[in-house]
Each structure stands twice: as C-alpha cells, then as structure tokens.
Chains A and B, each alone.
Chain A
Amino acid sequence: MPASLPPDRRQSPRENVGARRLGRAGFLGLVGAGGATLFYGKQISSVTNVVTKPFADATGLSRIVPSGGWRIYTVADTMPTFDRATWRLRLDGLVGRPLELSYDELLALPKAEQVSTFHCVTGWIVDGVHWGGVRFHDLLASAGPLPAARAAHFISAEYPYDDYLELSNLALPDVMLAYEMDGQPLLQEHGAPVRVVIPDMYGYKNVKWVERITLVPRVGAGYWEQRGYDVDAWVGRSNGYG
C-alpha cells in the first residue's frame, strides 16, 4: 500500500446513509439491564452458576476465584496467626469456673459435624459447607454457666472485631464452634483455629479467630452492629432483606 493515496483513488465523501441513533439506545439498554440485576442478581446467578460452576471446577478456576464460593472479609490491617502450642480459648464472665482451653483440649471435646449453607449479608452464599467442631453446650458445660447468663460475647483475635449471640441461639441444633471446614483444619483466612457457625444468621455473626467467650446478661452491639447492622441477623429477615 502506498504511503499516501493519490486523490483520485479516494472514495467520494459519503453521507451517513441510514444513520440511526443506536448508541444511546444501546447505552441505556445496558444500564437498564445491569440495573435490573441489582434486584434479580441472585436469581440470575443461580441460573448462570449452572454453566459457570462446572466450567470453573473443571478448569481449576474455582480454587482461585470465588465462583459461588468464599470471599474473605476482614476489618484489621493484619490477619491473626495461629500457634497450636500457645493458643488458648478463654471462657469467662458469668460462669462458675472461668477456664482456658488449649487447642488439644478443645479437640478432645465431643465432636459434632454438619453440612450447612453460609450466607453473607452482602449477598454471596456458599452451599453445602461441611463443618466439624464442638456444640456450645459441650463447650460451656465445663465452665458452668450461671443462671444470670443470657448471652455470649465472642471476642476475635482480629481486634477490634467482636459480636454477641443469645444462649438460646447457641442452643440451636446447627450452631457450633467450628475447627474444621470441608474435612480440613480451619484455614487462616476462615478464622483458624476456631470460628462461630450459625447458619441461620448472616456471616458477621459467625465470628472468626475466636479467642475469648464471655458470658453476659444480655446481648450488646458488636463490631458491625455499632456500624448499623441488625443485632438479630436472621438470614432473609434482617439488614434490609425480607
């Protein structure tokens, strides 16, 4: 091709034959369709997951990106680390016998297992998580809760994260202090060595990196409740949903 075309080889100027203003229609259509997914995103994702999840699983992508999987939310500038030799779980407050459990002492308690769904308040869900851990009545029995105790204050090693649950909620059949997830010891980003699992409430109630449980007369406002989240975090019935 010559570097510059002689004038006679140029095409004569053409008018914009049949020009239509399709650009704005396309823009508005896309914004409208995207805006609709704000309201129907969950239903759409359950449909698209049928296609994307097998693909992500087959390509190994699901081990990297959270396709229908976990996202890791933290509030501090570092993530707590776990040292099996020095780690202790403190149980105190309205108990007859305050105590500290080592990791091995915790594992020696009766082990419970369950498969449940994890709901985050921001909208993501993980189906069929296999948890292993200890039920709270087994855990708290050794400390002897006093009759005045009505709630538990969970304090995370991820300062200043904390939250509260009523003892009646801790007695629900699928609530536990978990130390295993999907057959493995809890990973650091999932709260190693122990986290709360209460499937009927949003994730922010499922405190990670629990290092102290204090029994108290009533629930208070935890980290996110101080920032406007609901104290009762029932899935589908709180935090602007339902």
Chain B
Amino acid sequence: MAETTARARPRPPARPRPRYVRRFTLTERLLHWVHASAFFVLLGSGLILYIPSLSTTFADRPLIKDVHFYTAVSWAGAMLLIALLGNRRSVLRTIREVDLFDRDDRRFLAGHTSSPQGRFNAGQKVNVIVTAAFATLFCISGMLLWLGERNTDIRLGGTLYLHDALMYLSVVIVVGHLYLALINRSTRHSLRGITLGTVREDWAAAHHAKWLDATPAGDAATTPVSDGPSP
C-alpha cells in the first residue's frame, strides 16, 4: 500500500549529492595522527610511571620507562620526517594560517562564534598553538628528567612539576578536543577532514566561510572525491 501512494505522488526532486572540498593534505593528516597516537602511548606509559597503585600492577618500571622514552624519541623523529619529506608547502601554509588572528578571529574568541572563519577557526588556532607549545615543553622537561638521572648537574627543581602540570592540562584539552570531534553534532563532521582529507562543502560554508570563499573552484570536487593519498 505504501508503494502505491509513493508511486502516485510526483517524484521528489533528486537530493543533490554532497560536494566535498579538500581541507587537509596527507602530510597534515599524518602529522595529526602520529601526534595523537604518540600522545596516548605516552599518557598511558606515563601514568603507569606516575600513579603509585599502578606500580605494583606493572612492576617492570625500567621497561615502562623505555617505552615512554623511545615513544617520545620516535614521535619527535616521525614528526620531523613527515614535515620535511611530506608536503612542506602545506605545513608552512598551516603555520602561517595559525599564526594570523584577524578581527573575525578575535571576535570568535570573544564569544561571537558566528563570525566567519578561515580554514581554522580561532579556537582551533589556539589549540594548535597550545599543543605545539606543550609538545615543546614536554620535550624539554622530559629530556631534562632523562639527562638529570645521568648527570645531577642538569637537575632543575621544577622539571617534574612542569612535566606533571603539562599532563594534567593536556588531558583537559584532549577531552574537549574529543568532545568537539566525536560528540558535538555541529562540529563532529570535522573528523572526516582529518581522516579522509575532505569535508562537505555546505559544512565548510557554515563553519569556515572565509576559507571556502578563498578556495579555488577546482579544489571543490563534486560527489565524494576519491580518497586516495593527496599531495
């Protein structure tokens, strides 16, 4: 019965297939995911080293220390290699964009989240800056902890405090980041951009209007673009 009524009605206009625009290069996505996975390995191994009740469950502290240390070394090496061997232009473009805060960005940070934004909104820019600064400080304090165990002249009283405080602040930031990327309805489409590289054009128009306007038409592909590796 339902079929007959459907047939009797005029056909609804074909829903236009969504258009997609490329937001992130493969290099940018690799940098993101190497950083993200290293963060969680470092957080897990770090918490085992840090929380007393875990010290008896995972009693092999020297092994966990090695996991923590060599994950950090591999992270730094991988990030450098990806940035140098990958699409350097896209990395530099990201740095340039994150560096610049225009009037709309400042209005966004003041609470006017409807003010038009570029490829990164002002909150995302702050997130990138804080993440980069924290990664730098994690590296410095971590190296000092590692070296200080070998040469007591390099000991600084606040090293451990800095490393711990960065961990607490990072966890808060990551929880917020995961909420916006996975749960919050209006922003979670961005997960597609950082995994497949492309986002829906209408979503980009709503959230990143200035970027979409500045994007050459050739970059906007009709229907889901092939998700093979991008330059």
Interface-centre pick from B49, B51, B160 (highest chain A CB count, 10 A): B160
Docked CA distance A133–B62 (Å) = 30
Given A20-B101, A239-B152, does the pair A74, B55 have CB atoms closer than 8 Å? yes
Q: Is B156 an interface residue (CB 8 A)?
A: yes
Q: Contact at A44–B100, with CB atoms within 8 Å?
A: no
Interface-centre pick from B101, B148, B158 (highest chain A CB count, 10 A): B158
Q: Contact at A19–B136, with CB atoms within 8 Å?
A: no
Q: Contact at B213–A41, with CB atoms within 8 Å?
A: no
Q: Contact at B133–A27, with CB atoms within 8 Å?
A: yes
Cβ-defined partner of A14 (8 Å) among B99, B136, B157, B210: B210
* Contact residues in B for A124 (Cβ distance below 8 Å): 160
Q: Contact at B15–A10, with CB atoms within 8 Å?
A: no
Given A189-B55, A230-B152, does the pair A41, B159 have CB atoms closer than 8 Å? yes
Docked CA distance A69–B150 (Å) = 24
Identify the closest chain A residue to B99 (Cβ).
A23
Identify the closest chain A residue to B145 (Cβ).
A122
* Contact residues in B for A188 (Cβ distance below 8 Å): 56
Q: Is A4 an interface residue (CB 8 A)?
A: yes
Write the A51-83 contact mask toward B (1 if CB under 8 angstroms, else 0).
000000000000011100111111111110000
Write the A35-53 contact mask toward B (1 if CB under 8 angstroms, else 0).
1011111101100000000
Given A42-B157, A79-B56, A240-B153, does the pair A21, B133 have CB atoms closer than 8 Å? no
Q: Is B80 an interface residue (CB 8 A)?
A: no
Q: Is A1 an interface residue (CB 8 A)?
A: yes
Q: Contact at A27–B102, with CB atoms within 8 Å?
A: no
Cβ-defined partner of A4 (8 Å) among B18, B128, B158, B209: B18
The minimal Cβ–Cβ distance linking A25 to chain B, given in whole angstroms, is 9
Cβ-defined partner of B116 (8 Å) among A14, A31, A41, A239: A14
Given A39-B156, A45-B161, A239-B155, does the pair A3, B202 have CB atoms closer than 8 Å? yes
Write the A11-26 contact mask toward B (1 if CB under 8 angstroms, else 0).
1111011111111101
Docked CA distance A65–B46 (Å) = 12
Q: Contact at A39–B152, with CB atoms within 8 Å?
A: no
Interface positions of B from 1 to 47, Cβ below 8 Å from A: 15-19
Q: Contact at A240–B52, with CB atoms within 8 Å?
A: no
Q: Contact at B98–A23, with CB atoms within 8 Å?
A: yes
Q: Is A85 an interface residue (CB 8 A)?
A: no
Chain B interface main SS type: helix
Cβ-defined partner of A78 (8 Å) among B59, B116, B202: B59
Given A17-B103, A39-B156, A121-B155, does the pair A34, B137 have CB atoms closer than 8 Å? yes
Q: Contact at B155–A11, with CB atoms within 8 Å?
A: no
The minimal Cβ–Cβ distance linking B62 to chain A, given in whole angstroms, is 6
Write the B40-77 contact mask toward A (1 if CB under 8 angstroms, else 0).
00000000011111011001111100000000000000
Q: Contact at A71–B144, with CB atoms within 8 Å?
A: no
Docked CA distance A197–B15 (Å) = 76
Q: Contact at A17–B158, with CB atoms within 8 Å?
A: no
* Contact residues in A for B100 (Cβ distance below 8 Å): 16, 19-23
Q: Which residues of A contact B (CB under 8 A)?
A: 1-5, 10-14, 16-24, 26-27, 30-31, 34-35, 37-42, 44-45, 64-66, 69-79, 121-124, 188-189, 227-230, 239-241
Apart from A41-B159, A42-B158, A69-B52, what are 11 other A-B pairs with CB-CB below 8 Å? A3-B18, A3-B202, A4-B18, A5-B201, A10-B212, A14-B210, A23-B99, A26-B133, A34-B134, A40-B158, A188-B56
Q: Which residues of B contact A (CB under 8 A)?
A: 15-19, 49-53, 55-56, 59-63, 98-104, 106, 116, 118, 125-126, 128-130, 132-134, 136-137, 140-141, 144-145, 148-162, 165-166, 200-202, 205-206, 209-210, 212-214
